[in-house]
Structure 1
Amino acid sequence: MNLIKASRDFLLKPLQIVNGIVERRHTLPILSNVFIKQENGKIVFVTTDLEIEIETYLQTSETVISKEFSALTVSSKKMLEILRTFSSDTEVTLAKVDNRLQINAIKSRFSLQILPADDFPRMPKEEMPESTLTLSQQNLKDLLHLVQYAVAQQDIRYYLNGLLLLIEGKHLKFIATDSHRLSYASIELEDEWERKETIIPRKTVQELSKLLNETEEPVIIEVFPKKIRFAFSDIVLTSKVIEGKFPDFNRAIPVNNTKQFSINRQSFLQGLQRVAILSNANEKFRGVRLVISNGMLSIVCKNSEQEEAQEDLEIDYQQDTIDISFNINYLLDVLNNLNSDSVQCAFENANSSTLITIPKNDHFKYVVMPMRL
Structure 2
Amino acid sequence: MKFRCERDTLAEILATAGRAVSARGGALPILAGVRLEVAGDQLLVAGTDLDLTIQAKTTVAGGEDGVCVVPARLVADIVRALEPGAVMIESDDEEVRIASGRSQFAVRSLAADDFPRLPAPPDQSGAVTLPAADLSDALRQVVRAASADDARPVLTGVLVAAEEGGLRLVATDSYRLAVRDLPGAHVLREGQKVLVPSRALAELQRLLSGAQEVTLRLGEHDVTFEVGEVRLTTRLIEGEFPNYRQLIPASYPNRLIISKEALLDAVKRVKLLVRDQTTPVRLAMRADGVELTVTNPEEGKATEDVDAKYEGAEMTVAFNPAYLSDGVEAITGGEVLLETLDALKPATLRATEASGEYLYLLMPVRVT
Which TM-score bucket, shorter chain as reference?
over 0.9
Structure-2-length-normalised TM-score: 0.93
Distance in structure 2 (CA, Å) of the matches to 1:157 and 1:183 = 18
- Alpha-carbon distance, 1:169 to partner: 3.2
Identity of aligned residues (%): 26
SS at match of 2:309: coil
Q: Structure 1 pair 22/263, CA: closer, same or farther in 2 (3 Å)? A: same
Q: Structure 1 pair 45/285, CA: closer, same or farther in 2 (3 Å)? A: same
What does the per-residue CA deviation read over 1:86-127, in whole Å, with 9 as the maximum and x for residues that have no partner? 1222x2222235631111222222111122323210244375
Q: Structure 1 pair 272/127, CA: closer, same or farther in 2 (3 Å)? A: closer
- Alpha-carbon distance, 1:339 to partner: 3.5
Partner of 2:350: 357
Q: Structure 1 pair 178/96, CA: closer, same or farther in 2 (3 Å)? A: closer
Partner of 1:177: 172
Distance in structure 2 (CA, Å) of the matches to 1:190 and 1:178 = 25
SS at match of 1:194: coil
1:196 to 192, 195, 206: 192
Which aligned pairs between 1:140-159 and structure 2 lie closer than 5 A?
Answer: 140-154=135-149, 156-159=151-154
Partner of 2:294: 301
Structure-1-length-normalised TM-score: 0.91
Give unmatched runs, 5+ long, in structure 2.
none
What does the per-residue CA deviation read over 1:326-358, in whole Å, with 9 as the maximum and x for residues that have no partner? 111111111223332001011111121111111
1:206 to 195, 202, 208: 202
Q: Is the 1:131–1:224 Cα contact (8 Å) retained in structure 2?
A: no
Partner of 1:73: 69
Q: CA RMSD in A?
A: 2.1
1:250 to 238, 245, 254: 245
1:368 equivalent in alignment to 2:367: no
Partner of 1:120: 115
Partner of 1:285: 278
Partner of 2:226: 231
Q: Is the 2:270–2:303 Cα contact (8 Å) retained in structure 1?
A: yes
Distance in structure 1 (CA, Å) of the matches to 2:124 and 2:250 = 36
Q: Decide which moves more: 171-180 or 98-107.
A: 98-107
Q: Is the 1:3–1:65 Cα contact (8 Å) retained in structure 2?
A: yes
What does the per-residue CA deviation read over 1:166-221, in whole Å, with 9 as the maximum and x for residues that have no partner? 12232111111011110111111165941221111122122112222234x11011
Q: Decide which moves more: 308-317 or 232-241.
A: 308-317
Amino acid across the alignment from 1:369: M
Give unmatched runs, 5+ long, in structure 1.
none
SS at match of 1:371: coil
Equivalent residue pairs, number:
364
Q: Structure 1 pair 221/23, CA: closer, same or farther in 2 (3 Å)? A: same
SS at match of 1:30: helix
What does the per-residue CA deviation read over 1:41-64, in whole Å, with 9 as the maximum and x for residues that have no partner? 41111111111110011123xx11
Distance in structure 2 (CA, Å) of the matches to 1:195 and 1:24 = 36
Partner of 2:62: 64
What does the per-residue CA deviation read over 1:273-326, in whole Å, with 9 as the maximum and x for residues that have no partner? 1111123x2x12330111112222111110022611111122222431111111
Q: Decide which moves more: 33-42 or 71-80.
A: 33-42
Partner of 1:344: 337
Partner of 2:54: 54
What does the per-residue CA deviation read over 1:141-182, in whole Å, with 9 as the maximum and x for residues that have no partner? 111100111111215332111111112232111111011110
Q: Is the 2:259–2:308 Cα contact (8 Å) retained in structure 1?
A: no
Partner of 1:310: 303
Q: Decide which moves more: 238-247 or 100-109.
A: 100-109
Distance in structure 1 (CA, Å) of the matches to 2:46 and 2:344 = 50
1:330 to 307, 319, 323: 323
